[in-house]
Structure 1
Amino acid sequence: MKLIECPRDAMQGLPDFIPTATKTAYLNTLLQVGFDTLDFGSFVSPKAIPQLRDTAEVLAGLDLSATRTKLLAIVANLRGAETALQHPEISYLGFPLSVSETFQRRNTNQSPAEALADVAAMHERCEQHGKTLVTYLSMGFGNPYGDAWNPEIVTDFTARLAALGVRIVALSDTIGASTATTIEPLFSALIPAFPAIEFGAHLHTTPTTWREKVAAAYAAGCRRFDGAIGGIGGCPMATDELTGNMATENLLAFLAEKGVDSGLNATAFGQARAAAGQVFGFH
């Protein structure tokens, strides 16, 4: 079981800038919990995501001396990837490849074909630098634009990524459109079809629909889940109304019901949740 905590996704759409020192202190708290990976920031245009314009400064303040957690940074183009590659502390680069052409253009100002070409180049550069590319198939369960979506389209995108040698693919429910009836069949088809790929679930959800989504992905064999403490966040490039991330607390509750050891330090998680409440203003 791999749990990926996503403070980057939690922060990116917030209108009020969180001071760099506050971000750094919060991330250092998260690094003590024992998550597999911390999606900590992004190297994208500050005009597009002003909240994360200080990612390099935040990175410089992180204490990585006593953590097993690996760092992931989101990039939107080759220029951002080259910047991220200059930081040896970063293990993973994440790129949002959309199965919706409308969203790809809104998010990275590219066609899907151009984005796939970038994925190929990024994967090659990551291999050269000893890093791993994580490709997010955004709008992986549908989109609000009327663009075509079906499981065959997702499978075709995955096949193209497999041909490039991409090893981690996260199916991303960017707007909370997924249901158990779309999640389970998709994972059930993809996981055995592409054994060289580690599949993850990046599910946005409402407080009342989270359980069915997690249960569907888990039943289909997914063992990599993204979450954000408090269920904060959403993609400001997708729709005007943000649908929050999967709450990490809910993921942990589900695993506990299944008798699965999350591998996290419960005391450190409690401290991190208290810190999140102060950063994001919830109890």
Structure 2
Amino acid sequence: MIQLIECPRDAMQGLPDFIDTAIKAAYINQLLEVGFHTIDFGSFVSPKAIPQMRDTAEVLEMLDLHKSKSKLLAIVANVRGAEDALQFEEIDYLGFPLSISETFQRRNTNASIEQALETVETIQNLCEVKGKEQVVYLSMGFGNPYGDPYSPELVAEFVQKLDELEIKIISLSDTIGVAEPSLITELFKVQVEAFPHITFGAHLHSRKDQIEEKVIAGLKGGCRRFDGALQGFGGCPMAKDELVGNMATEKMIETLEKEGFELNLDKSELREAMKLSNSVFF
């Protein structure tokens, strides 16, 4: 079964002009009608770091969740953010960005990798108390532009540490769009076989002409969870200055269906969401 994670938070967070709270909520409400597994809808982080997400709590109050089967995921960068997010029953998942790159970890969360792992453990304990689940994103999971060490073996070491903390969902993240299909397949194949009790996701950034080959590469490696954003909007504002777009969800859907997967999405609601995205992002 394929899990499609739609990420309006990732699509919006790097935009310089603030999107009105009501517009954010209207767009996410439309996405909730489509039938995605999860909506990565917002983040509880410093408004100084990501000003676009300063209204996440207000957006949440405006969401109509009664008819939707989609779950909600919010990104947090420290324990305080996790405690804020855990105040809301509507949120199912807390996502934490752990980096294989020491440079990017400090740039992204103002903490070392060692400190970040301690944060992951604390958040995991909080989630267990509240009945929530933590999703850990292994950023720079396919390469490193900062000169820090990188290897598939290093990825495996991080996964082992997260397994010891009983993390059940790990998303391998290509933060800057450098992943080659062969490496995508190799990384997922090794991790999926070594840790069958963990759900491994792909949070890839890509040019549109490379999306199909990257999805197929992930499938070959055993990945069944994919993150994307309609029309490929967004990218990580804490990475290199030139943002590489998210995987365009509509292209991933096309590829997955071509590969024979039944996604059970409401295509008419998807078309409406595509139309609405044009007014939100242009």
> Where do 1:7-86 residues align within 5 Å?
7-86=8-87
Rounded to whole Å, the distance in 2 between the matches of 1:110 and 1:32 is: 37
Rounded to whole Å, the distance in 2 between the matches of 1:228 and 1:143 is: 23
Rounded to whole Å, the distance in 1 between the matches of 2:219 and 2:276 is: 29
C-alpha displacement at 1:278, in angstroms?
1.1
Partner of 1:253: 254
Tell me the SS of whatever aligns to 1:162.
helix
Rounded to whole Å, the distance in 1 between the matches of 2:88 and 2:187 is: 35
C-alpha displacement at 1:208, in angstroms?
1.9
Rounded to whole Å, the distance in 1 between the matches of 2:110 and 2:56 is: 21
Partner of 1:243: 244
Unpaired stretches in structure 1, ≥5 consecutive residues: none
Tell me the SS of whatever aligns to 2:92.
strand
Tell me the SS of whatever aligns to 1:146.
coil
Rounded to whole Å, the distance in 1 between the matches of 2:135 and 2:82 is: 12
Partner of 2:92: 91
State the TM-score, normalized to the length of structure 2. Answer: 0.99
Rounded to whole Å, the distance in 2 between the matches of 1:175 and 1:97 is: 15
Partner of 2:267: 266
Partner of 2:196: 195
Aligned length: 281
Partner of 1:103: 104
Partner of 1:124: 125
Partner of 2:164: 163
CA shift digits 1:53-79 (9 cap, x unpaired): 000000000000100000000000000
Tell me the SS of whatever aligns to 1:64.
coil
Tell me the SS of whatever aligns to 1:67.
coil
Mapped contact 1:37–1:71 kept (Cα < 8 A): yes
Which amino acid letter does the alignment assign opposite residue 14 of structure 2?
Answer: G
Which amino acid letter does the alignment assign opposite residue 130 of structure 2?
Answer: H
Tell me the SS of whatever aligns to 1:261.
coil
Which amino acid letter does the alignment assign opposite residue 107 of structure 2?
Answer: R
Rounded to whole Å, the distance in 2 between the matches of 1:142 and 1:221 is: 20
Rounded to whole Å, the distance in 1 between the matches of 2:10 and 2:80 is: 20
Rounded to whole Å, the distance in 2 between the matches of 1:34 and 1:15 is: 29
Partner of 1:210: 211
Partner of 2:176: 175
Partner of 1:219: 220
Which amino acid letter does the alignment assign opposite residue 88 of structure 2?
Answer: H
Q: Which runs of 4 or more aligned residues in structure 1 lie more than 4 Å from their structure 2 counterparts after TM superposition?
A: none
> Where do 1:272-283 residues align within 5 Å?
272-281=273-282
Tell me the SS of whatever aligns to 2:59.
helix
C-alpha displacement at 1:51, in angstroms?
0.5
Partner of 1:139: 140
C-alpha displacement at 1:102, in angstroms?
0.3
Rounded to whole Å, the distance in 2 between the matches of 1:105 and 1:66 is: 40
CA shift digits 1:142-188 (9 cap, x unpaired): 12111111000000000000011000000000000101121110001
The more displaced of 203-212 and 12-21 is: 203-212
Tell me the SS of whatever aligns to 2:146.
coil
State the TM-score, normalized to the length of structure 1. Answer: 0.98
| Percent of paired sites with the same residue | 59
Rounded to whole Å, the distance in 2 between the matches of 1:177 and 1:96 is: 18
Rounded to whole Å, the distance in 2 between the matches of 1:193 and 1:150 is: 17
Rounded to whole Å, the distance in 2 between the matches of 1:137 and 1:83 is: 23
Mapped contact 1:179–1:212 kept (Cα < 8 A): no
Unpaired stretches in structure 2, ≥5 consecutive residues: none
C-alpha displacement at 1:212, in angstroms?
1.4
RMSD of equivalent CA atoms: 0.6
Mapped contact 1:168–1:200 kept (Cα < 8 A): yes
